[in-house]
């Protein structure tokens, strides 16, 4: 009963291991990058366009609309980061239909890496938008006594992002594995469908939470009343 694709070792040389997590992540990167490069080679501006281009446009415009609804008015600046988060986690979960594939987000290493990216990106975008002094002063709002609590909440929501995604992906894979030994035919398929649903929801949640944290960090001076309130983990 393996807990994560970390334990599928393909090649080992001393300290360096190529395990399932790394290989599946490389596979996903290859498919996503080469696929989008192939589709965007000949973009057409008029009404006649290929259906792959249509699909990509639907995906990109809906992500952009979601980012704007969260409260980030200049969605173009954050579309790259947030869109990549969503697409990577969604693709990692969707490919579970391929036999022999284990989602790399089912390993705590991958989800910790993604959460660390968000942890670094929030101050980065905050400082880029507000300047170093204003951003650091925001940690002492509303009163200076809140400084340790704000720092702790930064760390704990990063941890929560990582563990939430890891727990959801790992539990989906594990339940399917357990059910395969008990009732082989019908039930694992239903559970795989449920796993797809939770995978897409978790991808959406991860990117929306990242967007909310960035919105909270970039709007210290003029809090937007229509934006979703900042959620401390």
Partner 1 sequence: MDSMTIIAVASIVIAGITISLGAIGPALAEGRAVATALTSLAQQPDASATITRTLFVGLAMIESIAIYCFVVSMILIFANPFWNHAIAQTAGK
Give the binding site for partner 1 (CB under 8 A). Answer: 1, 3, 66, 69, 160, 163-164, 166-168, 170-171, 174, 201-202, 204-205, 208-209, 212, 228, 231, 233
Tell me which residue of 218, 221, 215 sits closest to 229, measured CA to CA. Answer: 215
Closer to partner 1 by Cβ: residue 34 or 197: 197
Tell me the C-alpha to C-alpha distance, in Å, between residue 196 and each of 47, 170, 216.
33, 13, 30
State how far the Cα of 165 lies from the Cα of 106, in Å rounded to an integer.
Answer: 8
Pairing of strands 9-13, 16-19: antiparallel
State how far the Cα of 40 lies from the Cα of 147, in Å rounded to an integer.
Answer: 47
State how far the Cα of 199 lies from the Cα of 143, in Å rounded to an integer.
Answer: 39
Tell me which residue of 85, 71, 115 sits closest to 216, measured CA to CA. Answer: 71
Closer to partner 1 by Cβ: residue 175 or 220: 175
Min separation Cβ 108 and partner 1, Å: 9
CB 2 within 8 A of CB 173: no
Closer to partner 1 by Cβ: residue 34 or 201: 201
Helix axis angle, 75-94 relative to 187-218, nearest 10°? 160
Closer to partner 1 by Cβ: residue 58 or 231: 231
194: Cα separation from own chain's centroid:
19
**Coil vs helix vs strand at 43:** coil
Closer to partner 1 by Cβ: residue 63 or 130: 63
Min separation Cβ 232 and partner 1, Å: 10
Number of helical H runs and strand E runs in the chain: 7, 2
Closer to partner 1 by Cβ: residue 130 or 216: 216
State how far the Cα of 221 lies from the Cα of 223, in Å rounded to an integer.
Answer: 6
Closer to partner 1 by Cβ: residue 135 or 168: 168
């Amino acid at each position: 009963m393996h807990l994560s694709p970390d334990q599928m070792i393909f090649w080992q040389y001393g300290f360096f291991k190529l395990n399932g997590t790394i290989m599946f992540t490389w596979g996903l990167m290859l498919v996503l990058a080469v696929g989008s490069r192939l589709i965007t080679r000949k973009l057409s501006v008029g009404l006649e366009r290929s259906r792959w281009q249509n699909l990509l446009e639907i995906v990109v415009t809906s992500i952009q609309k979601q980012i704007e609804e969260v409260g980030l008015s200049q969605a173009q600046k954050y579309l790259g980061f947030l869109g990549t988060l969503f697409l990577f986690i969604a693709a990692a979960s969707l490919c579970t239909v391929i036999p022999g594939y284990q989602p790399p987000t089912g390993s705590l290493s991958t989800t910790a890496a993604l959460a660390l990216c968000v942890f670094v990106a929030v101050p980065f975008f905050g400082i880029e938008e507000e300047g170093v002094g204003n951003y650091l002063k925001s940690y002492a709002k509303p009163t200076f006594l809140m400084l340790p609590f704000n720092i702790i909440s930064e760390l704990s929501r990063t941890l929560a992002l990582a563990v939430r995604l890891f727990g959801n992906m790992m539990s989906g894979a594990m339940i399917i594995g357990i059910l395969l030994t008990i009732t082989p035919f019908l039930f694992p398929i239903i559970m795989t469908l449920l796993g797809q649903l939770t995978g897409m929801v978790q991808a959406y949640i991860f990117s929306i939470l990242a967007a909310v944290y960035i919105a909270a960090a970039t709007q210290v001076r003029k809090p937007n009343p229509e934006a979703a309130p900042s959620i401390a983990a």
